[in-house]
Chain A
Amino acid sequence: MSRTLALALVLGAVAGPAAAQVATDREAVRLLSRAESLQARLERRDSLGRKQRYQERLARRFDAGDVTAILANSVGDATGHRVVAGASAFLSELGAIPPSFISSCVVVAYSATGKDSVLRAEGLIRRARIMADALSSPDTLADGAIVAVVIGRAYRESLDADWKAWLPEDVALVWTMKRDGAAAAQELMAGETDAGARCLAGDVARCRLWLGVDRDPTPYATRYRPAEIRRLLMKQFYGWGRVGGLPAECAAGSDRACLQVVDRGEWLSPVPASPRARAALVREVRALHGAATLRRALTDSSGSVGARLARAVGISEDSLIYEWRSWVLTGGGNARVAAGARDAMPALIFAGLLLLAAARSGRWR
């Protein structure tokens, strides 16, 4: 009896944990299979996402006029077409870049995948590729300015050293009189350099120095005064004079050190006028003498930049620069104080109408 009881107790002691173990294993298996199922679902979703992202980044061709661009699919149909149409409009408006150049290249967004296969499939493989970033978001693409500017930049790079050094990076493609012209006039008015201030006062020779349109073996010494170099560098780079060496000597008052330090071309532009103000000269030629003249000047490679522009326009360099100065300072050639019939007419008509209205009705009616 007691043996039977002891056996039952032993069996109970062994079977209890064993049954519990079986139940735990079953739960573990269930959990494992659930985890695996979730993992599989996650992988499927990732794979779909990857495929979708790949599809979005997939390169796609957009055309307008002579402009061809390979952008990512994610840009969207409407935006893509608007962007290349905008770029084409910017390029046509300036008209300085030959259509043959524009149609010989293709703008390719870095972010697009499968560019080579699209270029090959579309027969664009022989065109010069202009790789560009910031072309993936509809926001950064704006109205095609970026595409136009990268083409402009490529065109500038194809020109000779004088143009490359002098032309603004965007070849004045994205330039408006209201914004950039006013800023150029303001820059001239600011009188940061003697050349600029004297140009403002009407000294054309100084305007040429300020714009840097003449070839000069020592541009810094000719176009800037040492004191200006010192002031500009101290203003632009905080603590510049404490760098030591030549900068410290320049800051301490050594003119020779100032010229030596900038001669390396690292600290200061050899042209006092900003790219925006230089773009104003390009725009002035375009506005007053036409796109063909500007195109002619840009393909000319003999003499200085000023001589090329003047030759294309057909007037002396001084006359051209004087014309530019008036054009910029008058906001596109408008007379400073206009008081002609055009201005008087609306004022007189309005005054007449008011008088008529006053005569026809009144308080004591």
Chain B
Amino acid sequence: MTTTRKPVSERSAAFEYLTTKKDELVGWARKFSLFPYPFVTACCGMEFMSVSSTPYDTDRFGAALPRFTPRQSDLLMVVGTISHKQAPVLKRVYEQMCEPKWVMAFGVCATSGGFYQNYAALPGIDKIIPVDIYIPGCPPRPEMVIDGIMRLQERIAGQRHPIINQDF
């Protein structure tokens, strides 16, 4: 979310104050209403099931309800190895999501390809789409995923959230 803003000299202090307060409010609202799209391809899916169901329960973070269409979701969770053959599908899914959107690379395979360095595996999804949060581990513990979600929430809370135009 890199939008260019007017130089500070052209903006009034009241406008600046209002914008900041608006960003805080919208960020607070958005960070607790993540709608994940689980792009689950491999064994990390087991940890995804664990972290999203009762014992760990991502519902506590407002990220419980998976939407199985990218058009209704704002958090793309890429869970597992992405092969070169699958890369066009992932790219299409990412492009179908509406702004604002965030991407989580869940596990080492999505982060960097992990131990796959061969003809088949994509060496990290950041080669084709931008990634906001990386969670290492093979597979990551549910605690690590929760930590990742909380860090992503911090980032969302601290971001600018233009909702009317790029200045407000």
Partners in one complex: no
